[in-house]
Structure formats: structure tokens, C-alpha cells
């Protein structure tokens, strides 16, 4: 699908103009501290690759030991 950029992040196709933003928060069960070291790096790689496959722009990503904020 072909997207065109317009004003301040607005994207468009042949039939629509849009600017969608999502703030996603991921937490492991019981807020276990599992996102650090190699697991943190791998998680960031997965989110980056997944967003690239779907042509989503990552506006912000913060990986904390017990949760992740992803703004796309």
C-alpha cells in the first residue's frame, strides 16, 4: 500500500487522509521484572520489525523492567 505524508504526520491513500496514534502498554503477568538485558534488546527488535512490516511509525518506545510503553 502506498502512503503519502502531509501536514504533521497526516498520511493518505487514494481515498483517505488519516492521522492515527496509539499508546500501547504491555505488562507481564504480575508485573514481573523481565524486560532487562538481552530480553529488553530482543523485545525492542521485535517491536521495531513488526512496526516496519506494517508501515507504522514508532513515535516513542520506552522499555522498563516491568512494562513497555509503545506510541505508534
Question: DSSP H helical segments within the chain, as ranges?
Answer: 38-53
pTM as predicted = 0.74
Task: Work out the pLDDT band at 8, boundaries 50, 70, 90.
Answer: low
Residue 60 has pLDDT above 90, yes or no: yes
User: Average pLDDT of the chain?
Assistant: 88
C-alpha cell at 4: 503519502
User: Quick check: 57 and 51 in contact, CB under 8 A?
Assistant: yes
Percent of the chain with pLDDT over 70: 89
29-41 pLDDT, tens per residue?
A: 999 999 989 999 9
Region of 50 (left: φ > 0; alpha: ψ -120 to 50; beta: rest) is alpha
**For residue 4, what pLDDT is reported?**
47
SS3 call for 18 = strand
Amino acid at each position: 500500500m502506498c502512503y503519502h505524508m502531509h501536514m504533521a504526520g497526516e498520511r493518505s491513500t487514494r481515498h483517505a487522509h488519516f492521522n492515527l496514534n496509539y499508546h500501547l502498554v504491555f505488562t507481564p503477568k504480575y508485573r514481573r521484572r523481565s524486560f532487562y538485558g538481552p530480553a529488553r534488546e530482543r523485545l525492542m527488535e521485535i517491536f521495531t520489525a513488526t512496526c516496519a512490516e506494517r508501515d507504522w511509525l514508532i513515535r516513542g518506545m520506552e522499555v522498563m523492567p516491568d512494562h513497555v510503553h509503545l506510541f505508534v
